[in-house]
């Protein structure tokens, strides 16, 4: 049995009245890859933040390499050989790789010496671990996979023996994720210890040696990865059995409900994000758009829903064309039966400072049902909100509660309830389950399938390939602003992954 | 953790925290008094007694508060729509032009209760128009409203000098102000209300526009929380993206919110002109538009809070005048310092004590900070 790299004993941490971590015991063996899984809000990130010195535990002990340690700041953690790769990279975009690596670890007042030293050190790290990056490349010009590599290099440059990775694959293509895993294995072989925080169970199964499951602030189980299954882990995470793949019947697709024609969208810098895209969604089917984040899906959704002005293109809703290039008004599209669950529920789909009932009319506040002349009909609005809360099992069931106080899954249900209950002909959904816990994912997927079975046209955009494959009747793959291929739901992950990475362009253009 | 701190019960949020902030502002102000060599406790007594000790003081406090209610509401309406209108000073000043024209034209022919509504409309219209231009520039051209409204304060000041010197003052007069309004443009005093409680008032300008201010406070509450327009304003104020998503026109909502804000700022001119001086003079607004920013922040943008904060600032003005009279070492500037401290602690450092109060509440009574809300998480 290898000696423990990290040992956490009886860690407690509360935020106000919320107990984010309670009596956590965890032992991470040296030279292993240790996964930590759990739903959102289970306390994974808090625990790692305590380990990395962002927070102090209220009680409990930490020992690193067998020695009791007091970690009061990230600097203490770094001194103990703990490095962290954050979910959102902490890089200066317009600095070079080298400059980013030495940032905060400059050894001299003059940069020249530090840089020279760092350059030779980087070359050594690259050789040892297969972490090739051009040290003089500017960060913003690198793809995300490489940016992440820079984060790892930063940690190693500071002498990290223990590397914590927080949701590292969220932004990566399957191919990039595979490459990351190869690097992690190599690091492990060199004796480094790796802690991987994720909610993707497949990754846990693919790469870890040991896995610990957290639920509601407690550590519920630790297993040898080879001796557990995805099903068991999912059950441990939510405390009950979970359907990992929604059950659904065959689609009975009808006529075309939504037709997108020649849509071209540019972003604020004038870069073409969506390039002459056309496709149809028929009644009674779910069309999924797969793609790595940043390939134009977000802009496309915004244009179709009227939020963003398109350079060219139109949508046909039930056979009637609506031009998207002018001041297309989201209100008008909504009136025509197009409901939209936006990707960014925090800033677009909801007003977090509002009470729940106020959000349940957002976008439909012109509806006479909610009004008495120019005044809001508060009673009608609240009754309506209470109905939706009951129907969608939104918790806590309090329509006067501030929306920010709901969990991610419940916030998403608030948006879904609002959009679905309008009984729209077309529903477009961006990232239906981003930041949503496993139990709510199941609920949301079932609802989407139910919409389909009622004969609605449903368009889903998601960066989660599993979700796309599980929900869709047809899958369109988007790469660099274009639709590069269409596949059925039986398409393999590898096949879709290649399309998402822009390979097979020619074959797809047939 | 996205929300490291739990929420507080409403009374602590809206009552306790402002009181703590205010108390700290006064403690620091006390040190400043100490620094100039006076006794801070005696100063506090003089201040409060000057403001509330006698009927006379109360009347003056409420007279000042009237103006501040209007300017505070003006700032709050814009702020709910995410706009920082610091042009209340200019919007109020230019409203004096409308009031002056109406009063000079009608004070000899109409009774006050007919002149007053006309003057209200004129003041509101002038204020709204003065806010319309910056609003249009913001909505259509993206010119920042803070910059344009403050520039419009200077333009208003120049226009008013031109108007007063040019055509509002009587031809034979050397003073840049209108003639004194006749009875038809003088607002009735409300001093008798205070005298009902047994206080004696020699003369004080506390007048009927105070009731208009309270009515406006109620209407602003209705507007913000009970109308579709208010809903749209709040949506835009919290998130312009959510407003776009909800089909709310950015141009329309900015212009409407600013015009309402400007109208309220314009109405603040009624109190000093028709209620007190009975003329329109140079610089009659004297900073009340800026005090409105502090009042609105202190009142947490809620009409009830704004009325209370306006009375507090009325107290500082009235009590401060007494203080400067009683304690020569303390000049009127001292009041500006106290105001500044109140703005600093109630506005800029609003959340400084919040975590401590929350931790205290959490340890005393977990239920009061919404434990049930957290339990629902696993859904």
Here the CATH number for the domain that contains residue A315 is 3.40.50.300
If asked whether residues A460 and A492 sit together in one domain, one would say yes
User: Is B377 in Cβ contact with A354 (below 8 Å)?
Assistant: no
**Which residue in the set B231, B244, B376 is minimally distant from A410, CB to CB?**
B376
Rounded-to-integer distance, Cα A433 and Cα B265, Å: 47
Touching A: B residues 8-47, CB under 8 Å: none
If asked whether residues A402 and A436 sit together in one domain, one would say yes
Rounded-to-integer distance, Cα B240 and Cα B229, Å: 15
| Residue A203: half-sphere exposure toward Cβ, Cα within 13 Å | 31
B26-50 pLDDT, tens digit each? 899 889 889 888 888 998 899 889 8
Residue A16 pLDDT exceeds 80: no
**Which residue in the set B3, B371, B378 is minimally distant from A216, CB to CB?**
B378
- Joined together, the tokens standing for residue B67 give 């103006």
Please write down the long-range contacts of A499-508, taking CB distance under 8 Å and 24 or more positions apart: A499/A290, A500/A173, A500/A174, A500/A290, A500/A291, A500/A292, A500/A295, A500/A465, A501/A173, A501/A174, A501/A175, A501/A292, A505/A479, A508/A477, A508/A484
A251 in any annotated domain: no
B132-171 pLDDT, tens digit each? 999 999 999 999 999 999 999 999 999 999 999 998 999 8
If asked whether residues A233 and A368 sit together in one domain, one would say no
Residue of A nearest to B361 (CA): A16
Among A13, A14, A18, the residue to mutate for chain B (most B Cβ within 10 A):
A18
Rounded-to-integer distance, Cα B223 and Cα B80, Å: 11
B206 in any annotated domain: yes
The residue written with tokens 């980013």 in the block is: A100
Nearest to B271 by CA among B204, B207, B189: B207
Rounded-to-integer distance, Cα A83 and Cα A119, Å: 20
**Chain A residues lying within 8 Å of B366, measured CB to CB:** 17
3-state SS class at B37: coil
- DSSP code of A316? E
The pLDDT, as a whole number, for residue B16 is 82
pLDDT band at A134 (very low <50, low <70, confident <90, very high): confident
What is the mean predicted confidence (pLDDT) over A28-52?
Answer: 86
Give A109 to chain B, closest Cα distance, Å.
36
3-state SS class at A313: strand
A469 in any annotated domain: yes
Give A55 to chain B, closest Cα distance, Å.
11
The answer to whether residue B280 neighbours chain A at the CB level (below 8 Å) is: no
**Chain B residues lying within 8 Å of A39, measured CB to CB:** 378
3-state SS class at A477: strand
Give B2 to chain A, closest Cα distance, Å.
9
Give B123 to chain A, closest Cα distance, Å.
25
Contact A410, A440 (CB under 8 A): yes
E-strand ranges in B97-153 read none
More confident site: B377 or B251 = B251
The answer to whether residue B219 neighbours chain A at the CB level (below 8 Å) is: no
DSSP per residue, A151-172: HHHHHHHTT-SEEEEESTTTT-
pLDDT band at A327 (very low <50, low <70, confident <90, very high): low
- Alpha helix segments (H runs only) across A130-242: 144-157, 174-189, 201-207, 230-238
Residue B332 pLDDT exceeds 50: yes
* Residue A320: how many other CB atoms lie within 10 Å: 8
Q: What is the pTM of this model?
A: 0.78
**Chain B residues lying within 8 Å of A353, measured CB to CB:** 238
pLDDT band at B2 (very low <50, low <70, confident <90, very high): very low
The pLDDT, as a whole number, for residue B282 is 92
3-state SS class at A143: coil
If asked whether residues A260 and A234 sit together in one domain, one would say no
Q: Which domain holds residue A174?
A: 4-238
pLDDT band at A46 (very low <50, low <70, confident <90, very high): confident
**Which residue in the set A307, A330, A393 is minimally distant from B379, CB to CB?**
A393
Q: What residues have CB less than 8 Å from B120, skipping those under 6 apart? A: B212, B267, B270
User: Is A342 in Cβ contact with B245 (below 8 Å)?
Assistant: yes
- Alpha helix segments (H runs only) across B196-346: 209-226, 228-238, 240-245, 250-267, 270, 288-298, 303-326, 332-343
- Joined together, the tokens standing for residue B230 give 């208010």
Q: What residues have CB less than 8 Å from A191, skipping those under 6 apart? A: A30, A31, A161
Sheet containing A457-461: give its strands across: A338-341, A426-430, A457-461, A285-290, A474-479, A482-487
3-state SS class at A504: coil
The pLDDT, as a whole number, for residue A383 is 96
User: Is A365 in Cβ contact with B232 (below 8 Å)?
Assistant: yes
User: Is B375 in Cβ contact with A396 (below 8 Å)?
Assistant: yes
If asked whether residues A114 and A225 sit together in one domain, one would say yes
If asked whether residues A445 and A474 sit together in one domain, one would say yes
Residue of B nearest to A333 (CA): B247
If asked whether residues A225 and A278 sit together in one domain, one would say no
User: Is A366 in Cβ contact with B247 (below 8 Å)?
Assistant: yes
A438 in any annotated domain: yes
The answer to whether residue B235 neighbours chain A at the CB level (below 8 Å) is: yes
What is the mean predicted confidence (pLDDT) over A352-371?
Answer: 94
CA distances from B4 to A41, A45, A397, A405, A466 (A): 12, 13, 22, 11, 32
**Which residue in the set B238, B370, B375 is minimally distant from A351, CB to CB?**
B238
- DSSP element (H, E) containing A78: helix A74-79
If asked whether residues A266 and A360 sit together in one domain, one would say yes
User: Is B362 in Cβ contact with A17 (below 8 Å)?
Assistant: yes
pLDDT band at A241 (very low <50, low <70, confident <90, very high): low
Residue A369 pLDDT exceeds 90: yes
What are the backbone angles phi and psi of residue A270, rounded to the nearest 5°? 90, 10
Percent of chain A with pLDDT over 70: 95
Rounded-to-integer distance, Cα A154 and Cα A80, Å: 15
Give B209 to chain A, closest Cα distance, Å.
27
The answer to whether residue B231 neighbours chain A at the CB level (below 8 Å) is: yes
Rounded-to-integer distance, Cα A394 and Cα A359, Å: 13
Give A482 to chain B, closest Cα distance, Å.
25
A443 in any annotated domain: yes
3-state SS class at A503: coil
Residue of B nearest to A375 (CA): B227
If asked whether residues A273 and A173 sit together in one domain, one would say no
Q: Which domain holds residue B136?
A: 67-300
The pLDDT, as a whole number, for residue A101 is 87
ipTM: 0.82
The answer to whether residue B3 neighbours chain A at the CB level (below 8 Å) is: yes
The answer to whether residue B227 neighbours chain A at the CB level (below 8 Å) is: yes
**Chain A residues lying within 8 Å of B373, measured CB to CB:** 396, 398, 401, 405-406
The pLDDT, as a whole number, for residue A169 is 80
Residue of A nearest to B223 (CA): A375
Cα Rg of chain B, angstroms: 22
A247 in any annotated domain: no
Percent of chain B with pLDDT over 70: 94
What is the mean predicted confidence (pLDDT) over A240-248?
Answer: 65
Contact A233, A66 (CB under 8 A): no
Q: What average pLDDT is seen over chain A?
A: 86
Burial of A67 (0-12, 13-18, 19+ CB in 10 A): exposed
More confident site: A504 or A22 = A22
Among A20, A351, A395, A396, the residue to mutate for chain B (most B Cβ within 10 A):
A351
Measured in residues, chain A has a length of 510
Among A17, A301, A345, A402, the residue to mutate for chain B (most B Cβ within 10 A):
A17
Rounded-to-integer distance, Cα B94 and Cα A130, Å: 71
Percent of chain A with pLDDT over 90: 38
Touching A: B residues 246-275, CB under 8 Å: 246-248
* Residue A358: how many other CB atoms lie within 10 Å: 25
If asked whether residues A390 and A324 sit together in one domain, one would say yes
B290-309 pLDDT, tens digit each? 899 989 988 889 999 999 99
Per the structure, how many domains does chain A have? 2
How many Cβ contacts (< 8 angstroms) between chains A and B? 130
User: Is B373 in Cβ contact with A216 (below 8 Å)?
Assistant: no
Q: Which residues pair with A4 in a beta bridge?
A: A29
If asked whether residues A323 and A445 sit together in one domain, one would say yes
A197-211 pLDDT, tens digit each? 887 777 888 899 999
Rounded-to-integer distance, Cα B165 and Cα B159, Å: 10
Residue A407 pLDDT exceeds 90: no
Residue of B nearest to A329 (CA): B247
Among B81, B246, B364, the residue to mutate for chain A (most A Cβ within 10 A):
B246
A155-182 pLDDT, tens digit each? 888 888 999 998 888 777 777 888 889 8
A244 in any annotated domain: no
Q: What residues have CB less than 8 Å from A298, skipping those under 6 apart? A: A343, A430, A461
What are the backbone angles phi and psi of residue A429, rounded to the nearest 5°? -130, 125
**Chain A residues lying within 8 Å of B82, measured CB to CB:** none
* Residue A383: how many other CB atoms lie within 10 Å: 13
If asked whether residues A139 and A268 sit together in one domain, one would say no
Chain centroid to CA B133 = 22
Burial of B333 (0-12, 13-18, 19+ CB in 10 A): exposed
Rounded-to-integer distance, Cα B185 and Cα B274, Å: 6
Contact B116, B207 (CB under 8 A): no
Residue A439 pLDDT exceeds 80: no
The residue written with tokens 């012109």 in the block is: A366
Per the structure, how many domains does chain B have? 1
Among B3, B223, B239, the residue to mutate for chain A (most A Cβ within 10 A):
B239
Burial of A293 (0-12, 13-18, 19+ CB in 10 A): middle
**Which residue in the set A329, A348, A401 is minimally distant from B241, CB to CB?**
A348
A107 in any annotated domain: yes
Nearest to B147 by CA among B139, B156, B138: B138
Give B252 to chain A, closest Cα distance, Å.
14
The pLDDT, as a whole number, for residue B374 is 39
What is the mean predicted confidence (pLDDT) over A382-408?
Answer: 90
Give B5 to chain A, closest Cα distance, Å.
5
B244 in any annotated domain: yes
Chain centroid to CA B31 = 27
More confident site: B265 or A143 = B265
User: Is B6 in Cβ contact with A18 (below 8 Å)?
Assistant: yes
User: Is B234 in Cβ contact with A18 (below 8 Å)?
Assistant: no
| Cα torsion B333, B334, B340, B343: sign | negative
Give B246 to chain A, closest Cα distance, Å.
4
Give B333 to chain A, closest Cα distance, Å.
38
More confident site: A465 or A401 = A401
A478-506 pLDDT, tens digit each? 988 999 999 998 888 778 878 887 765 54
The pLDDT, as a whole number, for residue A1 is 45
Give A349 to chain B, closest Cα distance, Å.
6
Q: What residues have CB less than 8 Å from A278, skipping those under 6 apart? A: A259, A260, A261, A262, A263
């Amino acid at each position: 049995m290898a000696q423990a790299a990290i040992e956490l004993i009886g860690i407690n941490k509360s935020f106000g009245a919320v107990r984010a971590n309670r009596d956590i015991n965890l032992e991470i063996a040296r030279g292993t890859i240790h996964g930590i899984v759990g739903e959102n809000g289970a306390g994974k990130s808090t625990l790692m933040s305590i380990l990395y010195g962002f927070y102090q535990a209220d009680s409990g002990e930490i020992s690193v390499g067998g020695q009791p340690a007091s970690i009061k700041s990230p600097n203490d953690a770094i001194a103990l050989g703990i490095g962290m790769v954050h979910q959102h990279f902490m890089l200066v975009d317009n600095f070079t790789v080298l400059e980013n690596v030495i940032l905060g670890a400059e050894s001299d007042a003059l940069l020249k010496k530090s840089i020279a030293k760092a350059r030779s050190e980087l070359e050594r790290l690259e050789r040892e671990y297969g972490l090739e990056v051009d040290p003089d490349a500017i960060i913003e010009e690198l793809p995300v996979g490489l940016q992440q590599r820079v984060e790892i290099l930063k940690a190693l440059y500071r002498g990290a023996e223990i590397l914590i990775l927080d949701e590292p694959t969220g932004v990566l293509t399957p191919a990039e994720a595979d490459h990351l895993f190869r690097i992690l294995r190599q690091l492990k072989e060199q004796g480094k210890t790796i802690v991987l925080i994720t909610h993707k169970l497949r990754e846990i199964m693919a790469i870890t040696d040991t896995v610990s499951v957290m639920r509601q602030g407690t550590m519920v189980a630790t297993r040898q990865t080879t001796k557990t299954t995805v099903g068991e882990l999912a059950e441990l995470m939510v405390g009950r059995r979970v359907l990992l793949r929604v059950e659904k019947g065959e689609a009975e697709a009808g006529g075309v409900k939504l037709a997108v024609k020649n849509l071209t969208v540019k972003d604020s810098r004038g870069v073409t994000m969506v390039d002459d895209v056309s496709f149809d969604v028929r009644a009674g089917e779910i069309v999924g758009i797969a793609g790595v984040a940043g390939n134009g899906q977000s802009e496309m959704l915004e244009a179709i829903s009227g939020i963003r002005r398109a350079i060219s293109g139109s949508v046909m809703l039930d056979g009637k064309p609506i031009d998207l290039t002018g001041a297309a008004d989201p209100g008008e599209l909504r009136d025509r039966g197009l409901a939209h669950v936006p990707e960014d529920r925090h800033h677009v789909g909801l007003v977090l400072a509002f009470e729940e009932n106020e959000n349940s009319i957002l976008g439909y506040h012109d509806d006479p049902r909610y009004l008495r002349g120019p005044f809001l009909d508060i009673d009608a609005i609240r009754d309506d909100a209470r109905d939706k809360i009951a129907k969608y099992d939104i918790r806590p069931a309090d329509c006067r509660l501030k929306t920010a106080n709901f969990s991610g899954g419940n916030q998403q249900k608030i948006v879904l309830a609002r959009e679905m209950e309008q009984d729209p002909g077309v529903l477009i959904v961006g990232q239906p389950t981003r930041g949503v816990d496993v139990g709510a994912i199941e609920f949301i997927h079932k609802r989407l399938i139910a919409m389909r079975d009622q004969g609605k046209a449903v368009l889903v955009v998601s960066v989660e390939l599993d979700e796309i494959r599980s929900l869709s009747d047809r899958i369109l793959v988007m790469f660099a602003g274009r639709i590069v291929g269409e596949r059925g739901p039986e398409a393999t992950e590898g096949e879709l992954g290649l399309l998402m990475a822009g390979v097979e362009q020619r074959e797809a253009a047939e | 953790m996205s929300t490291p701190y739990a929420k507080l019960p409403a009374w602590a949020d809206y009552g306790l925290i402002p009181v703590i902030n205010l108390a700290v502002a006064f403690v620091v102000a006390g040190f400043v008094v100490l620094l100039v060599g006076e006794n801070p406790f005696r100063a506090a007594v003089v201040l409060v007694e000057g403001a509330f000790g006698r009927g006379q003081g109360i009347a003056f406090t409420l007279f000042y508060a009237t103006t501040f209610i209007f300017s505070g509401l003006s700032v709050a309406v814009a702020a709910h729509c995410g706009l920082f209108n610091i042009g209340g000073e200019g919007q109020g000043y230019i409203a004096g032009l409308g009031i002056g024209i109406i009063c000079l034209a009608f004070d000899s022919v109409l009774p006050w209760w007919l002149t007053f509504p006309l003057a209200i409309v004129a003041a509101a219209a002038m204020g709204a128009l003065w806010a319309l231009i910056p609003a249009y520039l913001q909505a259509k051209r993206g010119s920042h409203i803070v910059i344009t409204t403050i520039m419009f304060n200077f333009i208003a000041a120049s226009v008013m000098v031109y108007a007063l010197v040019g055509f509002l003052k009587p031809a034979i007069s050397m003073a840049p102000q209108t003639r004194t309004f006749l009875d038809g443009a003088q607002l009735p005093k409300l001093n008798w209300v205070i005298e009902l409680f047994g206080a004696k008032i020699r003369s004080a300008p506390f007048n009927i526009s105070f009731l208009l201010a309270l009515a406006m406070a109620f209407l602003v509450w209705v507007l913000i929380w009970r109308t579709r327009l208010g809903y749209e304003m709040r949506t835009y104020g919290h998130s312009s993206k959510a407003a776009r998503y909800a089909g709310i026109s950015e141009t329309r909502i900015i212009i409407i919110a600013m015009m309402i804000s400007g109208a309220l700022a314009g109405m603040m001119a009624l109190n000093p002109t028709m209620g007190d001086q009975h003329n329109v003079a140079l610089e009659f607004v004297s900073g009340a538009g800026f005090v409105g920013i502090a009042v609105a922040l202190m009142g947490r943008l809620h009409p009830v809070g704004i009325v209370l904060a306006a009375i507090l600032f009325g107290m500082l003005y009235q009590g401060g005048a007494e203080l400067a009279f009683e304690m020569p070492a303390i000049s009127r500037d001292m009041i500006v310092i106290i105001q500044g401290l109140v703005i600093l602690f109630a506005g800029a450092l609003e959340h400084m004590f919040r975590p401590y109060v929350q931790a205290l509440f959490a340890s005393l009574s977990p239920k009061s900070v919404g434990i049930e809300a957290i339990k629902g998480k696993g859904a």
